[in-house]
Amino acid sequence: MGITYMKLKQWHYKYNIKPISANKLWYKAKQITKEYRQWREDIAYNTPDSHKVWPFNDTEQLEVKIQAGFSSKLADVDNVCKPVLDTWQNLYGFNDRYVYKIVAEKEIVKKGKEYLDVTFRRYMK
């Protein structure tokens, strides 16, 4: 009896863009800030054509891994989750209610070397 391997679908890309904090998303809790709007545009612009197609169906359960390179030790890694999920929802039209697991990791890097490494894959319990 052989072993069956399932090829996992995933979406992965590393951006040389400073992660944005959830604390900088909203102005007076009603409209997105200019900084957040620019950050979303930068993410969209820097996403290569090879990654512009979402490989998952609309109701597929997802797991997200976020690796954030911060230049400040004071940065909270959990504050990067909301902008990532909302921005990818905006880019690809999926509903983040289908995200069942989030793994977030923080790395301290030199100023100017900040990054955001994002992986979406099918959630496997």
Domains of the chain, earliest start first: 10-47+61-122 (3.30.1330.70)
Please choose, from the candidates 45, 51, 57, the residue with its C-alpha nearest in 3D space to the C-alpha of residue 93: 57
60/29: higher pLDDT: 60
On whether the CB atoms of residues 91 and 120 are closer than 8 A, the answer is no
Q: Tell me the pLDDT tens digit for each residue of 66-115.
A: 999 999 999 999 989 999 998 999 899 999 999 999 999 999 999 999 99
| Per-residue CA distances from 53 to 21, 38, 47, 82, 120 (Å) | 26, 22, 10, 21, 13
Structure tokens at 105: 């990791």
Q: Tell me the pLDDT tens digit for each residue of 12-47.
A: 999 999 998 877 777 766 788 888 889 889 999 999
- Provide the pLDDT for residue 27: 72
**Residues paired with residue 46 on neighbouring β-strands, in sequence order:** none
First to last CA, the chain: 24
